Amino acid sequence: MLKLITSRLLIAIPSLIGVVIVTFLLTRVLPGDTAAYFAGPAATPQAIAEIKTKLGLDKPLIIQFGDYVGALAKGDLGTSLSTGQPVITEITNRLPASAELTLSGLILALVIAIPFGIAAAVKQGSWVDHSCRILTTAGVSLPVFFTGLLLVYLFYFRLGWAPAPLGRLDAFAMAPDTVTGFYLIDTLIAGDVETFRAALAQLVIPALTLAIFALAPIARMTRASMLAVLSSEFVRTARAAGLTPWKVIIVYAFRNAMLPVVTTLGMVFSFLLGANVLVEKVFAWPGIGSYAVEALITSDFAPVQGFVLAMAILYVLLNLMIDIAYGIIDPRARSEA
C-alpha cells in the first residue's frame, strides 16, 4: 500500500507543475488591468504605471513567473489586493466552509442515490426503477444554480420553511469557537444546540442543491453496476444455496459492484468542487469558491492562482483516496498496482 501511495504522489507532481504554469499564464491573458482597477477610474497613466511597478507587473513575464515559483517554494501564495490578507490565510479560513458544504451534499447524495440505485436494479422495470430514471434525468438536466434558486423560491419565499440564504449563520447567531472549522461539529463540541440548529438550517438547502446535482450519476452507476453483478453466476449460486435476499444483494452483489461506484464518486466529488462556486454565490456562502469569483472580477491574480492550486491538490488527494479504497475493496487492485 505504501508503494502505491508513493507512486501516485510521484505521478501527481508533473500535474501540479502543469497547473501552476497554466494558471499563471491564464491569469495574465485574462481581460482587465489589475493596476488600472485598483488605481481607480480617475487615475492618471503615471499613477497606473507606479502601481504596476509596485506590484511587479512591469517586469517580463518570465521574471514574474520566477518570482511566483520562488514564493510558492516558500509556501507563500501571495497577498490579495482586494482584502490585503495573505492568500494562504484566506484559503485556510474559507476552506472549511466549502468542505462542510461539499461533504454534506455528497453524503446526502449517497444516502439517497445508493439505496435508490440498488432498489432500481433489484426491481427492474418497476415504479422504483422508473422513478430512479426520472430523478437521475432531472438531476443531470437541471443547472445547479437554477436548482438552488428554485429551492430558495420554494422553501424560503413560498413556504417559509428555510431561513434566508445569507451564509452559514443567520444574523442572530454567533459563530462557534473554531476547532475544526465545520460549524456543525464545532457547535456540538461546544454543546451549543441553538447554534447547531441555526447552522444546520442554513446548510440544508445548499447541501440539497449539491445533492440533487450529485445523486444522478451515482444512482445511475449504482443501478448499472448492480444489474451487471446480479446477472452473474456467483449471485445465482448464492441464491441457489438458500442465502437470504438481503445477504445476496448487499454482501455479495453490492460489494462486487462497488468499484465502478467508487470511481464515479471520485468524479462526482471533483464536479462538486466546481459546482460549489455557483452554489456559494447563490447562497452567499463564505467559501473559497465565492472568494475566487470575487478575485477574478477584480483581476486579483493571487487568490485565483491560490484557489486553482488548492483545488488541484484536493483533486490529487481525492484520487489517492480512491486508489486506497480500491485496494481495500478489492485486493486484486492492490496487487496489480
All domains of the chain in start order, with CATH: 96-336 (1.10.3720.10)
Helix (H) or strand (E) holding 183: helix 183-190
**pLDDT, average across residues 109-138:** 84
- Check residue 206 and give its pLDDT: 92
Residue with cell 442465502: 243
As a three-state string, the secondary structure of 254-319 is HHHHHHHHHHHHHHHHHHHHHHHHHHHHHCCCCCHHHHHHHHHHCCCHHHHHHHHHHHHHHHHHHH
Q: What is the DSSP letter of 182?
A: -
Of 4, 46, 224, the closest CA to residue 118 belongs to 224
Q: Is the pLDDT of residue 31 over 70?
A: no
- Check residue 4 and give its pLDDT: 63
- Check residue 11 and give its pLDDT: 74
- Check residue 133 and give its pLDDT: 82
**pLDDT, average across residues 102-131:** 87
Report CA-CA distances (Å) from 335 to 1, 313, 323: 9, 26, 12
**pLDDT, average across residues 250-260:** 79
Q: Is the pLDDT of residue 335 over 80?
A: no
**pLDDT, average across residues 3-16:** 73
Percent of all residues in the chain with a pLDDT value above 70, rounded to a whole number: 90
Give the bridge partners for 93, in sequence order. none
Please state, rounded to an integer, the average pLDDT across all residues of the chain. 81
User: How far apart are the C-alpha atoms of 314 and 185, rounded to whole Å?
Assistant: 21
- Check residue 302 and give its pLDDT: 83
- Check residue 205 and give its pLDDT: 92
- Check residue 167 and give its pLDDT: 84
Q: Is the pLDDT of residue 336 over 60?
A: no
What is the Rg, in whole angstroms, of the alpha carbon atoms belonging to the chain? 24
Q: What is the DSSP letter of 213?
A: H
- Check residue 332 and give its pLDDT: 58
- Check residue 85 and give its pLDDT: 84
Q: What is the pTM of this model?
A: 0.81
Percent of all residues in the chain with a pLDDT value above 90, rounded to a whole number: 3
Q: What nine digits make up the cell of 296?
A: 477574478
**pLDDT, average across residues 177-193:** 87
User: How far apart are the C-alpha atoms of 306 and 89, rounded to whole Å?
Assistant: 11
User: How far apart are the C-alpha atoms of 39 and 138, rounded to whole Å?
Assistant: 47
Q: What is the DSSP string of 49-112?
A: HHHHHHHTTTS-HHHHHHHHHHHHHTT---B-TTT-SBHHHHHHHHHHHHHHHHHHHHHHHHHH
User: How far apart are the C-alpha atoms of 109 and 220, rounded to whole Å?
Assistant: 12
- Check residue 227 and give its pLDDT: 85
Which of the given ranges, 33-42, 93-102, 163-172, 321-330, has the highest pLDDT on average? 93-102
